Structure formats: structure tokens, C-alpha cells
Structure 1
Amino acid sequence: MPNAPSRRWFVAGDINGFFGLVVDNLSILGFISVALIGIFQFPAEVVFARMFPGTALGVLVGNLIYTWMARRLAQKTGRDDVTAMPLGLDAPTSIGMALLVLGPSFVAFKQQGLDEQAAALATWQLGMASLVVMGVLKLALSFFGDAITRAVPRAALLGSIGGAALALLGFLPLIETLRSPVVGFVTFGLLLYVLVAKGKLPVRIPGVLLAFIVGTALYYGLGLAGLGTPGFKLPDAVPLRFTLPLPTLGFVDGLAYTVPYLPLLLPFGLLMVVGGINVSESARAAGDDYRTRDVLLAEAVSTLVAGFCGGVAQTTPYIGQPAYKHMGARMGYTLLTGLFIGLGGMLGYVSGLVQWLPIAVLAPIIVYVGMDITVQAFHDSPRKHAPAVALAFLPSIAYLLVIKLGNSAWIEPARYAALYNGVDGHGLPDLATIVTLGNGFIITAMIWSTALVAMIEQRYRRAALVLLIGAVLTLFGFIHSVDPRGSVYWPWMVQGLAKNILWQFAGAYVALAVLLGGLSLQRHAAPQSGNAA
């Protein structure tokens, strides 16, 4: 049988691929649990028994589909070196869900008078609904992925998430890293040694796994010796128990809660579609010609399955498919990873593993992810578009300031009355301006960067059109929402100084669009690429 080698399920290289992919998924699950339980005091029972089983099921389903796709491609081509697409939890959006959606909403629900369990239940329903919203968006956009990448320049797509990565995935986890300075700094330094400097290790194990082992041993060793940070204690044991993630309609009750978070959720889904396209191209360049639409559909289906069954973090194909191929991994590593994570979520041993991973050990890998995404935004965009990438970073800084100054979802709404006070005749109040700029920051970054790329390309009418779209989005609160919570609204429902801010921000976009439209009437030199609008 000439095609027999292509039907082998496992090869030696699958072991290396398995450890690498499992560590990636465990680190993200660990950070979700640490952020919700440690930072927001979310009930651990809900995280481990309700959120994790459905989230892990999405990883299982996606990896099973990608394993089947690899086997089908191997049989079709007669090759025995086909490597499956690696699938797991998306780091930026999963961490964004924990820090920007689930945690703040839990605190907000408690401030509305709900007890801890009721607030946790409502937050879980919000998480499920968020996944369903993103899954439906990804399902629809999977048929139009190429059109999206043509309409939105890479500088805007990568710059918008790059800014969020630098400010939110870089800075916020860095603070958590240095709350245990010795453990965090050593773990972070070791990660930089193996991932950035490509340093040689004395043992043949994945570098990230070694960093986790060293950091965890250091954390517990110092803590048990009384030399660790104040308040050290061993984690509570998580009992092993079987929890079957069955489909539930709980997400229906959470749909209404998603409205204030749509300016975050919609870009999260869009970015995964674009990322899936890039990953497909990367695998194709490495020799494995997967159909892009199939890759995107599998990603959307696994996200929807997770959302319907209680999950709160979306899945995505990872960009490192060529790296796994170089490890010698084929199709067995995705099968093993899916089974390990999926069954671990149902049986509880994944919860037990992440419970023992300290945040000072987990946070450094998130900082590295933030750095890597930021660097990618510049490397993978045309050099002349670098100013547009940098511009896309600025709105995320405003959102970071909102978080540090006091996110409206974390504190009493009455404290935000000062937002619209203090007009001194020299402009809008500082805090009101910062909050308005930060709300919808990912979409804002896309609008700004897309318009600047069009200007760089001397397509001024296109830039004016993009700015007019920004004005419309501003009117309805998708960007620059004057509601401190970031909610969308009908513009005629806004009153007081907030109404003034709304129309001034929308008017700013219109004014610049009109100016660029007028300037486009001049005669310009032919642009270096593309045609002038």
C-alpha cells in the first residue's frame, strides 16, 4: 500500500509537539483562573466546574477537526510529512476576556445588589454569550476572509491588537510578574533566554516547560522556606470529578449583557478570522496546503461548541504550524493535545494543574506574548506603514489609564459623576476625554490606522470615507462611547455634557473627512502603490 505511511497516527516528533501545545493551553487557562479568582475574587467553583469544561471541550473539538483535516490531506497527497494545524485558546482575547469582560462584569453585578453566586452565574452566562457572538461572527466572516484583508490594511489589523498587547498583555501582567520579584523576574528572564535569545538548554525539553518548572519550584521553595513574598500559602486541592459539558441555553440569558462589550467582542472575532487566514498562508508556505475556508470554519465551530457548552474563551489556530513541523510533529500531537485538555476539563485534572501554577510564573509568558504580538505588528506590515501601526497603539493607552484610574465597571457609578464636571473653559474634562478615547479602543485603532495608511498611499478620498465611518460609529457608541461603561446607544438618548462630547467627537471625524476630501481635489503625484482614490 503506497499510502500506508500517510495513515500513521503518531510519530516520535508528536511528543515534542504535544508538550509545546499543552503548555500553551495550560498557561492561558491558568492565567484565566488566576485573574478571575485572584484579582477579582471570583468563586473558584464556577471557574473550574462550569467555565473550564466547556472551554476545554472547544479545544478538543477543534483539534479533532484539524487532526482529521491533516489525515485527509496526507491520504490525498500520499505524503507522510503532513503536520496538523495547532489549535488552542487564543492568548490575547482569552486574557482580554478575563481582565476586560468577565472580571469587571462580576464586580459590576455585585454592585447591582446580586450576591456572589448570582453574580458569578450572570458572568458565566455573559461569557457563554460572548463566545456565541464571536463564533457566529467568525462563522459568517469565514466566507469573506480574503475580502476583509483587502479592505482593512495589515497595519490596522495588527496595530490595533498590537497596542492592546503592549498595554494590556504586556503592562498589566508585568505588574503581576513583579509582585513576586524573584520568581517573576527569573521566570521572565528564562523565557527571554529560550524564546528571544534562542539560548541553548542543558536538557532536551521545551523551553517554556522548563521555565514553568524552574519558576514553580522557586516559588514554592522560597515560600516554604519563609523567604517568599508575604502571604504565601499552598493552594487548596481541587477534587477530581467528572463534569460533562452539555449544551445549555444559558447563553441566551447572557446576550443582553454583551451589549456594552460589543466594541471589544466584535474586533476579537474579526482578528481571529484574519489570524486564521495568516496561519493558513503560513502552513501553505511550509508545504501543507489546507483550504483557508476549512481552517476558519473549524475555528468558528469549535468556538461555538465551547460557547453552547459553557466555555468562556475562544479557540484559534496557532501561528506556529511550521515550527511544529520542524519539531517533527505530524497529526498525532493535535489529537493528544485535544484529548488531554478536553478530558482534563471534564475530569478536573486540568483545574488541579493550573491551581498549582503561581501567577508570578504564568504572567511572564503573557508578557512575552504581548511583546511578540507588538513586534509582529511592525514586522508584518509594510515599512512605510509603521507610523500607522504606532498610531494604532495610542487608544489602548487611554484604556489602560481608564483601568488604572478606576474602570467604571469596577467601581460605583456615582463616582463617575465627576466625569462630566469640571469644565474650565479650556476644553473637555481630562478624565472624560480619556474615558471617551479609551472606549472602543480596538475599533478606534483600526479606523485611525486605516485612514492613515490611505493617506500614506495618497488615497485621500478613501481616508475621508474611513473617517466618515468613524463618525457614524461614534454616534452610536461603538467607539468613543460617552457612557463610562462603553455601552452602545441611540445618539438622541444622550443628554447633558455627554451629548456635547458625543457630537464634538463625531464632528471631529466629519471635519477632518471634509478637509481631506477638499485636499484630494488637488493634483498629486502618483502613489507608490495602489491608485489614488
Structure 2
Amino acid sequence: MSSTPAHTRRWFVAGDLNGFFGLVVDNLSILGFIAMALIGIFGFPAEVVYQRMFPGTAFGVLVGNLIYTWMARRLATKTGRDDVTAMPLGLDAPTSIGMALLVLGPSFVALKQQGMDAQAAAMATWQLGMASLIVMGLLKLVLSFFGDAVTRIVPRAGLLGSIGGAALTLLGFLPLIETLRSPIVGFVTFGLLLYVLVAKGRLPVKIPGVLLAFIVGTTLYYGLGLAGLGAPGFAVPQAVPLAFTLPLPTLGFLEGLPATVPYLPLLLPFGLLMVVGGINVSESARAAGDDYRTRDVLLAEAVSTLVAGFCGGVAQTTPYIGQPAYKHMGARSGYTLLTGLFIGLGGMLGYVSGLVQWLPLAVLAPIIVYVGLDITVQAFTETPRKHAIAVALGFLPSIAYLLNIKFGNPAWIAPDRFAALYHGTDGRGLPDLATIVTLGNGFIITAMIWTTALVAMIDGKLRHAVLALLVGAGLTLFGFIHSVDPRGGIYLPWDLVELPKLIMWQFFGAYLALAVVLGLLSLQKAEPERL
């Protein structure tokens, strides 16, 4: 153990450079996917993404990494050690991509359908994004003091199963389609990522594997495209002029707060999952030898998310699970400082936007597919074997939501045809489309309730299962789960009419009926133990 005085402790070591490249690439890939999803998939105005959303989002990364750098140096001073590694902080992949695909993009499309022009719709969506970060940040701030209680109430299978389903369908399948729109570029990039991240294969050059995959994929994309051999639709992007934009605090989020209400069934689980993730990351770092206080880790990510929201950001920050990996690279506290400055200043000066706008979606999407697969695997490997079926059960509502995304696209099904299918019936129960929509709305919370109830049954805690089902029934009444509004909005049950009211009462009754059955079964006398 070293006893190097704090005033001579080095700010940077050689391993910090490796950590810097790895953490920067992670953040750039997520920023790039947000941009490509909003601009490429939903037709969002590029200048709003790059000059409004990115500066505040990047500033949150700067603030969080500065806090974690300070925490690392404080721990090093306290313990007298020089090998303390800072917590890596960046944009959370699942929820950042979820914000783009499930909140910001659909909101922008809906506002345009209501008659807004693209610029006005984009600005209103930006305000929604800011408000969403404030909502999630406040939830994380409160729960940072009760994180351990959350993990006791909701079993690990409930937390990981709910996000695992979203990861497989929304982070795995949807970006895979974008990957294969340019098959040669996407498949080669994806294969290289699997080689370096899954197979742990060797490389002929000493650079981060993800960076190499990006370089190869981008070279292929522009090389094939300029030679006329690329996929249809190749075009060199029109560069958005780089602009200096200070992420100044704004109260614009106040105008977006009312618009967050329909999205609360997504936003609240997103915030909750980050709290649980922060707890797990703290335990991981502790096992690697760096004993950070869990509450400090959670408070830092909550503060950085709130700062980003106040300054125009639209994606929440989180500590990454790979702290031991960065320690093995030889990184200490310098890599988080470098990353925070690079991303934060890049958001202000515009060079981060300049980097990501030249990265093709077929190159960015494969890393998101990998993230989705990795989270899905974690959902099974980090839960007890007997709870695996509960994890799998939690995947099913996300499949319904995936279908909602596609069926709700006016380019696929005209609104009048959608309405006819939603209300039509073949006499064998509720309409198929209405059932799919109702199952998919609020899918993350639904998955948490289903898996929690099943885990309780498996563990013989039937009264816990009854409680979970009663919570589900209560949330169903108001549309937090199983919303009968095709857009997923919440409501007062007495305001519903005809078929929507019938569907709501049927789903409410389903939870209540099963709760009664399990409650009666819980009254049985326990079987005597066999000798």
C-alpha cells in the first residue's frame, strides 16, 4: 500500500488513456444513435438535436465525471492508495435509446400530425425531453436515500427481467433492422464487435476494439457508397455548421412537464432501474477494492441528470458497470476527468456533433444490438436459476410494445384502419389489436409486476404475490399499465366510454381475480417437513 501524499498524487497515468478511449467511444456511440434515430428515423431537424439537445446532455456527462473524479481522489487520500479507480460515468444506453425511440421520436411525429410544423414540434419535443430528465432525476434523487429498500421490495428477476425484455426487443431487434439496411457495412461492423467484445479476440493494433470496428465500418460505408456499391440511399451527410452553444440553465422544461404525463409508465421505471444499477455498480467496485459509499454514487448520478435536464439535455447519465474493467486497464482518476472534459466541451464547441453526424447508422446500430444482447444475458445470469422462467415471462409485454410501435406507424396502417381493427371483434373475446395495444402499454412496469408475482409464488410467498397483483390492479385502473388509450396515456377510469372501459375493467378484474385465488391458496396449512 502506497502512502504517497495527496499533494504529489499524479493526476494522470498511462492507463488513463486506455480508459479515456473506451469511455469516450461508449458516450459517442450513444449520442450518435440518439442523433441518427431522431434525424434518420423520425425526420427531426438536425440543428435542434445538435445545438439544443446535445450541449446540455454532454454537460451532464461533464458534471458527473467531475464528481466521480473528485470522489476517487478523495478515496485515494483517505486510504493512502494510488490504485483507486474512479467510477466511469456516461449516458445510459437502454434509457437513452428508449428516450429516442419511445418518447422523443413518437412525440415529434404526434405533434406534427396535430398540425405543428417540424420546427415547432421539435422545440416542444425538446422541452418534453428536458422535463423527462427532471422527472427521472428527481426520482433518482429521492430513491438514492432508499435504494436498498427498493431492491428488497422488487426481486432482481423483476428488475432485470423487465429491462431484459426491452433490451432484446427494442435495443436488439429494432437496431438490428437498421444494421441490415446496409448489410455489408452493418454485418461486418457487428461481426467485429462480437469478435472483440464477446470472443475477446486479439487485434493487430493496440486500439480499443469498438473504435476499430467503427473505423472499419465507417470506411466501408463511405468507400462502397462513393464507388456506387453501397446500399440504396447512400448520401454524404450535409454537415450541420459547428456552433458554440453554452448549456445555460433554462426553465423551458416547465412547459414540457404536462407532456410527460402519458410517458410516466416509461420514465419512472427508467429512473428506478438507474438507481438499482447504481447500487449494483457500487457493489462491483467494492468487490474490486474501491469502497465507494453507495449513496454518494447514486446522488452524483441524480445530480448530473438534473443538471443536464436544467441545461437542455435529453438523456440521463449513469455510472457504468465496468469499473473493475477500467481498473484492469490501469486507469485511475484521470480518465474520467479527460472524458468529462472531452464530451462536455465537445457538446459546447460542436465537435461532438461533428463527429457523430458522420458516423452512419449502420455503424452505430450494431453496438446497440450488442448492448441489448448483453443486458438480456445479464437478466438470466444474474438471477437465481429457479427464477429464470420469471425473467422470461417479463419479456412478453415488451414484444407487444414492439408490435405497438409498428402497428401504430401511420405509414404501415392508416389511422382509420387502425381504429377499425382496434374496435373490431370476431366474437372470441377482446379484439386482437386492442389486446396487443393494452398489453404493450406500460410494458416495463407490467413486466416488473408479473415477474415479482411469479418469483413470490416460486419462493412460496403467496401473500407477496397477492400484494404485487393488487398493485397491478390499481395501476390498471388509471392506465399506468394496460392503458386502453392507444397512445399509452393515463386517465381517470370513470372518463372512459364503451369498449375502452370494458377492456379496462376486464384487465382490472383479471388481476383482482388472480389475487383472490392466490390469497385463498395462501390460507392452506403448511405441509409438515418430511424427514
**TM bucket normalised to smaller:** over 0.9
Amino acid at match of 2:68: Y
Evaluate the alpha carbon distance shift between residue 408 and residue 163 of structure 1 in structure 2; reply closer, same or farther with a 3 A threshold: farther
How far apart in 2 are the matches of 1:415 and 1:69?
57
CA RMSD of aligned residues (A): 1.6
Residues 456, 465 of structure 2: 8 Å contact kept: yes
The match for 2:429 is 427
Q: Deviations over 1:72-110 (max 9, x none)?
A: 000000000000000000000000000000001001001
User: 1:423: how far off?
Assistant: 2.3
The match for 2:206 is 204
Residue 169 of structure 2 corresponds to residue 167 of structure 1: yes
How far apart in 1 are the matches of 2:121 and 2:415?
17
How far apart in 2 are the matches of 1:3 and 1:405?
63
Matches within 5 A, 1:353-368: 353-368=355-370
SS of residue in 2 equivalent to 1:190? helix
SS of residue in 1 equivalent to 2:318? strand
The match for 2:259 is 257
The match for 2:134 is 132
Amino acid at match of 1:344: G
How far apart in 2 are the matches of 1:62 and 1:415?
47
Residues 425, 432 of structure 2: 8 Å contact kept: no
Residue 313 of structure 2 corresponds to residue 307 of structure 1: no
Residues 4, 81 of structure 2: 8 Å contact kept: no
Residue 178 of structure 2, aligned match among 164, 176, 179: 176
How far apart in 2 are the matches of 1:373 and 1:45?
32
How far apart in 1 are the matches of 2:29 and 2:8?
32
The match for 1:37 is 39
User: 1:234: how far off?
Assistant: 1.0
The alignment-based identity, stated in percent, is 84
Residue 216 of structure 1, aligned match among 207, 215, 218: 218
The match for 2:447 is 445
Evaluate the alpha carbon distance shift between residue 326 and residue 288 of structure 1 in structure 2; reply closer, same or farther with a 3 A threshold: same
Amino acid at match of 1:21: L
Residues 21, 88 of structure 1: 8 Å contact kept: yes
User: 1:415: how far off?
Assistant: 4.7
How far apart in 1 are the matches of 2:21 and 2:464?
47
How far apart in 2 are the matches of 1:175 and 1:372?
18
How far apart in 2 are the matches of 1:449 and 1:131?
27
User: 1:407: how far off?
Assistant: 4.7
Evaluate the alpha carbon distance shift between residue 6 and residue 485 of structure 1 in structure 2; reply closer, same or farther with a 3 A threshold: farther
How far apart in 2 are the matches of 1:168 and 1:427?
29
Evaluate the alpha carbon distance shift between residue 381 and residue 5 of structure 1 in structure 2; reply closer, same or farther with a 3 A threshold: farther
Evaluate the alpha carbon distance shift between residue 261 and residue 6 of structure 1 in structure 2; reply closer, same or farther with a 3 A threshold: farther
Q: Deviations over 1:289-314 (max 9, x none)?
A: 00000000000000000000000000
Amino acid at match of 2:519: G
The match for 1:377 is 379
Amino acid at match of 1:36: L
Structure 1 unaligned regions, length at least 5: 528-533
Residues 108, 411 of structure 1: 8 Å contact kept: no
How far apart in 2 are the matches of 1:493 and 1:4?
64
TM-score (norm 2): 0.97
Residue 94 of structure 1, aligned match among 93, 96, 99: 96
Matches within 5 A, 1:42-191: 42-191=44-193
Evaluate the alpha carbon distance shift between residue 130 and residue 4 of structure 1 in structure 2; reply closer, same or farther with a 3 A threshold: closer
Evaluate the alpha carbon distance shift between residue 526 and residue 36 of structure 1 in structure 2; reply closer, same or farther with a 3 A threshold: farther
The match for 1:465 is 467
The match for 2:438 is 436
4+ residue segments displaced more than 6 Å: 408-412
* Stretch deviating more after TM superposition (4-13 or 310-319): 4-13
Matches within 5 A, 1:509-520: 509-520=511-522
Q: Deviations over 1:263-296 (max 9, x none)?
A: 0000000000000000000000000000000000
The match for 1:530 is none
Amino acid at match of 1:400: L
SS of residue in 1 equivalent to 2:90? strand
Q: Deviations over 1:441-493 (max 9, x none)?
A: 00000000000000000111110111011000000100000000101111111
How far apart in 2 are the matches of 1:124 and 1:368?
28
The match for 1:7 is 9
How far apart in 2 are the matches of 1:414 and 1:317?
45
Residues 5, 79 of structure 1: 8 Å contact kept: no
Evaluate the alpha carbon distance shift between residue 518 and residue 70 of structure 1 in structure 2; reply closer, same or farther with a 3 A threshold: same
How far apart in 1 are the matches of 2:457 and 2:9?
52
